[in-house]
């Protein structure tokens, strides 16, 4: 069993498209948790995800509670408020890396319900990275650990 990537209420179709492409290329499922800041459909995402939307294992959830009911792995939230460094965290098969909204992250109840909260260290002093770039970094580290 591999990892999964989950996008919580994404605001920007191009970022979700990039995450779908990442998941297709890495052969991991992606969970999209509504509501999105744009109309969600594979057809609408074809431009940003290119032809990868048809190759990706996309699971669509109408709400956070529906996602929680359907998921059975540890939820690992990637957040600037994470107490644990990404490279110090031990990923397990079945983990779900949860990405927040570009504009606001995740609400406090979602943050508090995560099994772990991790952050990408930024020695250059930046505030945050693009959500799709962050997803790529976290997915690569989790897969590296689990190979």
Give 67-111 pLDDT, tens digit per residue: 999 999 999 999 999 999 999 999 999 999 999 999 899 999 999
Task: Please write the tens of the pLDDT for every residue from 52-61.
Answer: 878 899 999 9
Adjacent-strand bridge partners of 38: none
CATH number of 4-146: 3.40.1280.10
Q: Are 32 and 10 in contact (CB under 8 A)?
A: yes
Distances (CA, A) of 117 to 13, 42, 79, 114, 142: 25, 30, 6, 7, 14
Write down the pTM of the prediction. Answer: 0.94
Domain boundaries, the chain: 4-146
């Amino acid at each position: 069993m591999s990892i999964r990537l989950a996008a919580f209420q994404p605001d920007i179709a191009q970022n979700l498209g990039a995450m779908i492409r990442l998941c297709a290329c890495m052969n991991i499922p992606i969970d999209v948790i509504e509501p999105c800041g744009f109309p969600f459909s594979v057809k609408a995402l074809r431009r940003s995800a290119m032809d990868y939307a048809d190759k990706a294992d996309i699971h669509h959830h109408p709400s956070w509670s529906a996602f929680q009911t359907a998921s059975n792995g540890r939820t690992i939230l990637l957040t600037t408020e994470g107490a644990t460094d990404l490279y110090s965290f031990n990923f397990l098969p079945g983990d779900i890396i949860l990405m927040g909204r570009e504009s606001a992250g995740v609400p406090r109840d979602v943050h508090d319900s995560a099994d772990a909260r991790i952050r990408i260290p930024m020695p250059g002093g930046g505030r945050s990275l693009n959500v799709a770039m962050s997803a790529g970094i976290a997915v690569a580290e989790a897969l590296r650990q689990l190979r």
